[in-house]
Amino acid sequence: MTEHGPKTYPRLTHPFVRDTRDEPLRRASWEEALDRAARGLRRNRDAFGLLSCARATNETHYVAQKFARVVMGTNNVDSCDRACHASSVAGLSAVFGSGGGTSSYEELEQTDVIVLWGSDARPARPVFFQHVLKGIRGGARMYAVDPRRTSTARWADGWLGLNVGTDIPLAHAIGREIIHAGLANEAFIGRATSGFEEYRALVEPWTLSLAQKVTGVPASAIRELAHAYARADRAQLCWSLGVTEHHNGTDNVRALIDLSLLTGHIGRRGSGLQPLSGQDNVQGGIDMGAVPHRLPGFQDILDRGARLRFESAWGAAVPPHYGLNVTEMFEEMESGTLRAVHCLGGDPARSQPDGARTVRRLKALDFLVVQDIFLTETAELADVVLPAAAGRVESEGTTTSGERRVQRVRKAVDPPGEARDDVGILCELARRLGHDWKYADAEAVWNEVRTLSPDHHGMTYERLERHHGIQWPCPDTDGIEPPFLHGRLWEADPAERGRLAPFGIVRHDPPIDLTDEQYPVRLTTGRRLDSRNTVVRGGSFASALRRGECVELCPEDAERYGVVVGEQVRISSRRGSVLAPVWIDTALRPGLAFMTLRLPDGVDIDRPTAGAACPIAGTAEFRATAIRIDKLPVVTYVG
């Protein structure tokens, strides 16, 4: 039986190396660790991948992708964007050509309707949610679309408690109702979009009553949201993991974007789309090119002109084809074509779907370097561990928030022990591999970004300070663009309007892991205020019960299973089973259970079925596991 005690990782204060795989890590000097890292990477130049850290600075992301492309000659570079934000980027890019949210947080206070779709923003996004609250206080109506009646949903004027994985039927029914009620914005559709007739035919079967049957949301609630959204002068549609972490995450995103095209809630102040990105600098990772298909500033790897610009600035060739994303990198580890990994932040041993298999794959690598601020589970498997300074408080640089705002971060404290700045570590490694990059400081890195990414060109450090951050695009050093994107769609002149925004023609596709008699309960996962991604740090929890992990059930289900708060139960999916104490929460409904993303001992009960990942974005279906809950013969309590 597994105990779910809190796990504390020690902060790294000096490098480690391992002499052979059978020996434990031992303390090493920087010289030795860097030399070894360079040797291990050199012999794997043709089989290398780099995972960049969504908590590090833009400058780190930029140098990391340059390291992969220039020093190692590969586009195999990615970050945890794959886990949560990639489907949003893929969906938005397909429609509008760039993958950022179209609105700003301040516009939540300048709007009439806010829809929060699949996001428990109150605990997970407190800064964003403050703006939502101000919007509500200013008179905006708020709707929450979430299987659970979360603490976020408790602030809503309307809660649409849909069945997990039925977002497309719900969106289609809203679309159909808008069309049938004569509320579609025909002028905007005709002027700025393509594919409307096909969309109309696609949503036509989704009557309110069919949608009620499939989604579990009362027809009246669907109708109310459709009318409120379409009639509003200005409306914000915001979404997050409840939409993206599905095997058809990009399709889900397209179904939501369709609603904005249908109503013209895009490209105007107060009207737009906000895909809530996850980690503090996940957006920056994508913008800085720490992705396998884009150079910094969203420039496509397949665009020869873009490649040439980077090649002449970097003095090195850029591989002219897409690299592997995180999901694909882990698959290629299995086949042996990817043999060395530089893991810069991130703890894939805990965060990748299928933990046991991930650990096996990492162990089978010829060479693993981990550059982190903590001795994570992944670091425990590494050949070389390099201690980094925390990007947020121990180094200089910039980060980019979910509203595309680039902000300065400053060094407030010294890194502990021998820990060093991420950029400096990468430059030392590059030097050992034949590339002497001379960056005097973070600003020098940033100025290189500015010469290569037109969207960032106008953002000098001085201006970023003066304006308290600037949103991209910022092409000029003397202007600030409006806070929302795609205003061009409203231009009267077709030449100014540019390319049309296509409706997405996407169909309902239920979760891969179906519930049945043996596994009758739907487990979904999400965040809690008192836990943070892969890291469960001891002592930080408010409640003793939650120091470990618990499974949340509604009172009716608890009664049905004859269990009470604190009682251990066995939770089994088709892929494994764990013990966890019960917590009773009226946010849940019968047949729906909830946990955070990971048990502290590393057993991932929400481990997706093999292959259950979005084929476009590579995001795994973390949100929909079929489980069974069994009362134990002998009752034990935790608390």
Ligand X SMILES: Nc1nc2c(c(=O)[nH]1)N[C@H]1C(S)=C(S)[C@@H](COP(=O)(O)OP(=O)(O)OC[C@H]3O[C@@H](n4cnc5c(=O)[nH]c(N)nc54)[C@H](O)[C@@H]3O)O[C@H]1N2
Nearest residue (CB) to Mo ion, 185 versus 277: 277
Report, in Å, the least distance between residue 12 CB and ligand X.
9
Contact partner, 145, from Mo ion, ligand X, none, Cβ < 5-8 Å per class:
ligand X
Report, in Å, the least distance between residue 165 CB and ligand X.
5
Contact partner, 299, from Mo ion, ligand X, none, Cβ < 5-8 Å per class:
none
Report, in Å, the least distance between residue 192 CB and ligand X.
27
Q: Which two tokens stand for residue 279?
A: 């980690």
- What is the C-alpha separation between 402 and 104, in angstroms, rounded? 9
- What is the C-alpha separation between 427 and 431, in angstroms, rounded? 6
Nearest residue (CB) to Mo ion, 278 versus 346: 278
Nearest residue (CB) to ligand X, 91 versus 147: 147
Contact partner, 348, from Mo ion, ligand X, none, Cβ < 5-8 Å per class:
ligand X
Residue nearest to ligand X (CB): 242
Report, in Å, the least distance between residue 151 CB and ligand X.
9
The count of residues interacting with Mo ion (CB under 5 A) is: 2
- What is the C-alpha separation between 244 and 358, in angstroms, rounded? 22
- What is the C-alpha separation between 520 and 518, in angstroms, rounded? 6
Peptide bond into 473 cis (omega under 30): yes
Contact partner, 267, from Mo ion, ligand X, none, Cβ < 5-8 Å per class:
none
Nearest residue (CB) to Mo ion, 82 versus 294: 82
Q: Which residues pair with 522 in a beta bridge?
A: 592, 626
The interface region with Mo ion, picked from 80-88, 209-217, 435-443, 613-621 by CB under 5 A, is 80-88
Contact partner, 422, from ligand X, Mo ion, none, Cβ < 5-8 Å per class:
ligand X
- What is the C-alpha separation between 142 and 132, in angstroms, rounded? 8
Report, in Å, the least distance between residue 135 CB and Mo ion.
24
Q: How many CB atoms lie within 10 A of CB 369?
A: 25
Contact partner, 373, from ligand X, Mo ion, none, Cβ < 5-8 Å per class:
ligand X
The interface region with Mo ion, picked from 81-89, 107-115, 258-266, 344-352 by CB under 5 A, is 81-89
Report, in Å, the least distance between residue 58 CB and Mo ion.
18
Nearest residue (CB) to Mo ion, 402 versus 483: 402
3-state class (DSSP) for residue 59: helix
Report, in Å, the least distance between residue 528 CB and Mo ion.
14
The interface region with Mo ion, picked from 77-85, 170-178, 261-269, 361-369 by CB under 5 A, is 77-85
Nearest residue (CB) to ligand X, 129 versus 503: 129
| Chosen residue from 28, 56, 72, 84 binding Mo ion by CB under 5 A | 84
The interface region with Mo ion, picked from 76-84, 103-111, 226-234, 585-593 by CB under 5 A, is 76-84
Residues 348-377 that bind Mo ion (CB under 5 A): none
- What is the C-alpha separation between 179 and 226, in angstroms, rounded? 10
Q: Which two tokens stand for residue 23?
A: 């020996």
Interface characters, 277-306, with Mo ion (x: CB under 5 A)? -x----------------------------
The 10 Å CB-count burial string (b at 16+, else e) for 566-581 is: bbbbebbbbbeebbbb
Nearest residue (CB) to Mo ion, 177 versus 245: 245
Contact partner, 147, from Mo ion, ligand X, none, Cβ < 5-8 Å per class:
ligand X
The 10 Å CB-count burial string (b at 16+, else e) for 310-324 is: beeebeeebeeebbb
Q: Are strands 576-584 and 551-553 parallel, antiparallel or unpaired?
A: parallel
Contact partner, 483, from ligand X, Mo ion, none, Cβ < 5-8 Å per class:
none
Contact partner, 623, from Mo ion, ligand X, none, Cβ < 5-8 Å per class:
ligand X
Q: How many CB atoms lie within 10 A of CB 46?
A: 12
Q: Which two tokens stand for residue 35?
A: 């030399």
Kindly compute the dihedral angle of the four CA atoms of residues 298, 337, 345, 311, in this order, to the nearest 10 degrees.
Answer: -40
- What is the C-alpha separation between 545 and 528, in angstroms, rounded? 14
- What is the C-alpha separation between 194 and 187, in angstroms, rounded? 12
Report, in Å, the least distance between residue 353 CB and ligand X.
6
Nearest residue (CB) to Mo ion, 82 versus 408: 82
Contact partner, 423, from Mo ion, ligand X, none, Cβ < 5-8 Å per class:
none
- What is the C-alpha separation between 383 and 34, in angstroms, rounded? 11
Contact partner, 55, from Mo ion, ligand X, none, Cβ < 5-8 Å per class:
ligand X
Residue nearest to Mo ion (CB): 278
Nearest residue (CB) to ligand X, 44 versus 279: 279
Q: 30-42 and 422-432 are packed helices; what angle lies between their axes, rounded to 10 degrees?
A: 60
Kindly compute the dihedral angle of the four CA atoms of residues 314, 319, 325, 331, in this order, to the nearest 10 degrees.
Answer: -130
Q: 525 near 595, Cβ under 8 Å?
A: yes
Element (H, E) at 192: helix 186-192
Report, in Å, the least distance between residue 597 CB and ligand X.
3
Q: Which two tokens stand for residue 410?
A: 């400053």
Nearest residue (CB) to Mo ion, 373 versus 626: 373
Nearest residue (CB) to ligand X, 103 versus 351: 351
DSSP string, 136-170: HHTT-EEEEE-SS--TTGGG-SEEE-PPTT-HHHH
Report, in Å, the least distance between residue 552 CB and Mo ion.
20
Q: Which residues pair with 194 in a beta bridge?
A: 502
3-state class (DSSP) for residue 479: coil
Report, in Å, the least distance between residue 525 CB and ligand X.
5
Report, in Å, the least distance between residue 84 CB and Mo ion.
3
DSSP state of 503: P
Report, in Å, the least distance between residue 331 CB and Mo ion.
21
Surface-to-core class of residue 156, CB atoms within 10 Å of its CB (0-12 exposed, 13-18 middle, 19+ buried): buried
DSSP state of 501: E
Report, in Å, the least distance between residue 422 CB and ligand X.
5
The number of angstroms, rounded, from the C-alpha of 537 to the middle of its chain's C-alpha atoms is 22
Token look-up 């995180």 returns 326
Nearest residue (CB) to ligand X, 455 versus 552: 552
Terminal Cα-to-Cα distance of the chain (whole angstroms):
17
- What is the C-alpha separation between 550 and 567, in angstroms, rounded? 10
Task: Name the site residues for ligand X (rule: CB under 6 A).
Answer: 53-56, 80, 83-84, 117-121, 123-125, 145-148, 150, 162, 164-165, 167, 240-243, 245, 276, 278-279, 344-348, 351, 371-374, 376, 388, 390-391, 422, 524-527, 529, 531-535, 597-598, 604, 606, 622-623
Nearest residue (CB) to ligand X, 84 versus 485: 84
Nearest residue (CB) to Mo ion, 51 versus 84: 84
Q: Which residues bind Mo ion (CB under 5 A)?
A: 84, 278
